Chains A and B, each alone.
Chain A
Amino acid sequence: MIGEIAHFLSLSAAVLLILILIFNVFFSFNKIHSNQLTLSLRLFNQACFLVFISFGMYIYLAISDDFSIVYIANHSNSQLPVFYKVTSIWSAHEGSMFLWIVFLTGWSILFLNSLNKNHPLKRLTLLMLSLIILGFMLFLLITSNPFERILPFGVIEGADINPILQDPALAIHPPMLYLGYVGFVIAFSYITAYLFNGDFELQWEQDIKNWSFVAWIFLTIGITLGSWWAYYELGWGGYWFWDPVENVALMPWLASTAFMHSLFASSKSNVLKAWTMFLGILIFSLSLFGAFIVRSGIIDSVHSFANDPERGLYLLGFSGFISLLAMGIFAYRIPSLNSSKLVVIGSKESFLSMNNILMITSIFSIFLGVTYPLIIESISGDKVSIGPPYYNTIFAPIILIASIFIMISVDAAWQRSMSLRNISLTAAIPSVFSLIITYVVWYATGIFSILAYIGIFSGLLILTSYFVRVINNLFNNRFINKGSAIAHIGLGLLFFVVSMNSILSYEKNLNISLDQTVAVDESVTAFSFDDIKVIKASNHDIISAEVSIRQDGKNVLLNPQKRKYITRGQITSESAIQATILKDTYLTIGDQLENGSWTFSLKINYFIKWIWISSALMVLGMLITIFKQKTS
């Protein structure tokens, strides 16, 4: 019964949205009464609340083990802790789409109600948001109904959530990512409304700035958590795989990063206005494209949901319609945007527009990497796979150029050109320092990889140029933009540690019997296999090994596990990780061989913690930027 009520509430929300659209478009598109706006907003608020209540009821259904609902029967189980019963809702397609819609309505309702009562763009933004929410609601209710019942009788027990998803990180990673993806709907709708409206004297940047910044924070945290989860919980042994689904999350991130930079320029002076709008539209279009890639099953990936051409076609049609609508009105309005004022070469704006071009290049390269296999397949029927070598080769030069521009632009000023003398002064110290340190790294490790050293050098360029600024600030009291400095230090650190990680990390496979001790290398001088036992847990068996190693003169106990889940027969690996500030010791247990010995895989991964730190710094920088604006 509750399932039917929840279903009905969702349907009613869709009907309300249709009413809003009909009411505004067909009856009085031109005449605008303030009452009409009030009424539309009221209807919109009610539609959003209906969605929230419906989702709340759905959570209740999941907690109370209502296995007569197909989706819950397929993805939950009565033995699960309540926490995982709730998170199982977003462990597959239908439920996660529902969550996506809840966030969409959440962002929209907050934004619309924060706008001034008589804001000239309020009505058009409301219509755009209603259209987008309605599109997704219909997609949910028509092609992927989460409320569908098993009739006439439900099953007694659910099929269980996929064990690799039984993890606290799953509770946060998808919601954070979705909050980020969806948050850019605000910039998208608002810019589209602005372009439709046609009053280009209106100030628009301030209204969406902080909303986009907050969405960017969620997106950054979401991507980092995904990476963290793959590394620590899934035992993949790495943090980034250039998987198509990781790529479709990275594209909106790059676009939104460019958007924010561009927004600074267009709110300071009138330049880059068209750029900023284009990027604002592009971010959400890329989010829609991502939703299509993941949910159509068009690409084989660890993340993709079941293949269903009907869903794919709907999403493609809808995303295409929304994006083309925005792009079309943008293309139509370009001439009247007055953004043609020439950018002074060597000014801050010129570096920011350079940044835009580099970001678009990166997005295009990733887009090509994602679609190229599909293009080849549709032409010749061959399957090709594009992996890290492609992306590393493409990104190394882009990162180098970007770092050089970041280094120079630290001292650039708005609307004024930078003299060649100033440029050389700014660049001198960081370049020399970075070259020396890069050479020292090469000398100390004795490993050579051109791409990795480009990364190290680029990272150091950014780091040293900002350190020079920080020192200048501390001792000479020169101005420094704290938020920007922290975020860019995070970026430089990221380039540096990722490249260091790629040259220093290594892996050893060991084959060892119980109670044996072997020496591995100069760092790990003793590796003892002390014990192995089988433990029975509620829904899985655990094979747990005890290993003690002597590493760099210290004794470390490691406890890698293997779990076999009874309901699904799936085997998962729980790596044992000993993390120090510099390196992680990552031990995974393999199979027992015929002679009774066991295999282990020992990985030494450098600078992993620093990857999370660098991303935390970027988020921190963003937070400071947001709060500094509020106080000033």
Chain B
Amino acid sequence: MNLIFRFLIIIVPILILVFFTKVLLIDEDNKLINFESKIFPEFEMRDLNGNQVSAQSLSGIKILNVWASWCITCLVEHPFLSQLSEKNIEIVGLNYKDTDSKAIAWLQKHGNPYIFSIYDPRGDLAFDLGVTGAPETFLIFDNEIIAHVQGEINQQKWESIFLPLINNNQDQS
């Protein structure tokens, strides 16, 4: 009994250490190199203001940001999204597994960087997109998804992942 306890005291911290080292060393960028672009799924839904929206509303270069009023990390990345929208970058919100009254109140309280927010209370469209939680951010170019980031979007990820792709696609068109 005593021996097991002594063993555990040493082995548990080591396991924790190994685990976190592994997590730290996962290369975020590796995930993206293997990213295959795909066509944005068809959908007919309403936005938070009750207007009809569909895949046709996503022409040109658009950022799609999955958010929810219950999501604390969304609040963290929110000032950055506001900065982007002030630079006239068009961000579409996908309000994920939320209730519309709470979502609207949240936008009113913290500011609304989105040109519109698709209301997806059950997460149907999010499921088709392969969303696993909030926040996630997609880069869409003429209905085609060309990048997908899970977790907080920030200056660093914006500059290393999104900006090169945007410049690239703008040159081509």
Contacts and interface: CB of A to CB of B under 8 A. Distances in A.
Contact of B22 (A243, A378, A569): A378
Given A387-B70, A599-B108, A302 B76 contact: yes
B24 A570 contact: no
A195 to B, nearest CB: 12
B52 interface: no
A300 B73 contact: yes
Interface string B58-95: 00000000000011110110010011001000000000
Contacts of A270: none
B109 A316 contact: no
Interface residues of A, number: 50
Contacts, number: 111
Nearest to A320: B17
Interface in A292-317: 292, 296, 298, 300-302, 304, 306-307, 309, 312-313, 316
Contacts of B71: 385
Contacts of B33: none
Q: Is the interface of B mostly helix, strand, loop or mixed?
A: helix
B79 to A, nearest CB: 5
Contact of B110 (A371, A375, A571): A571
B23 A378 contact: yes
A601 B109 contact: yes
B79 A568 contact: yes
Interface stretch (A20-28, A323-331, A576-584): A323-331
A451 B96 CA distance: 27
A298 B23 contact: yes
B142 interface: no
A313 B105 contact: no
Contacts of B105: 509, 590, 599, 601
A171 to B, nearest CB: 22
A241 interface: yes
Contacts of B167: none
Contacts of A387: 70
Given A312-B24, A509-B101, A320 B13 contact: yes
A546 B83 CA distance: 29
A390 to B, nearest CB: 14
Given A327-B10, A331-B6, A243 B72 contact: yes
B127 interface: no
Contacts of B82: 569-571
Interface of B: 2, 5-7, 9-10, 13-14, 16-17, 19-26, 70-73, 75-76, 79, 82-83, 86, 101, 104-105, 107-112, 132-134, 136, 150-152, 154, 156
Given A327-B9, A377-B23, A588-B109, 7 more contacts: A278-B9, A292-B20, A300-B72, A335-B2, A382-B133, A591-B107, A599-B108
Which 7 A/B pairs are nearest by Cβ-Cβ distance? A590-B108, A383-B133, A300-B73, A591-B108, A331-B6, A320-B17, A571-B111
29 contacts: A241-B72, A285-B13, A296-B24, A301-B72, A302-B72, A302-B76, A307-B156, A309-B24, A309-B25, A313-B24, A320-B13, A320-B17, A324-B14, A331-B9, A331-B10, A332-B6, A371-B19, A374-B23, A378-B23, A378-B26, A383-B151, A384-B133, A509-B105, A569-B82, A570-B82, A571-B110, A591-B111, A599-B104, A599-B108
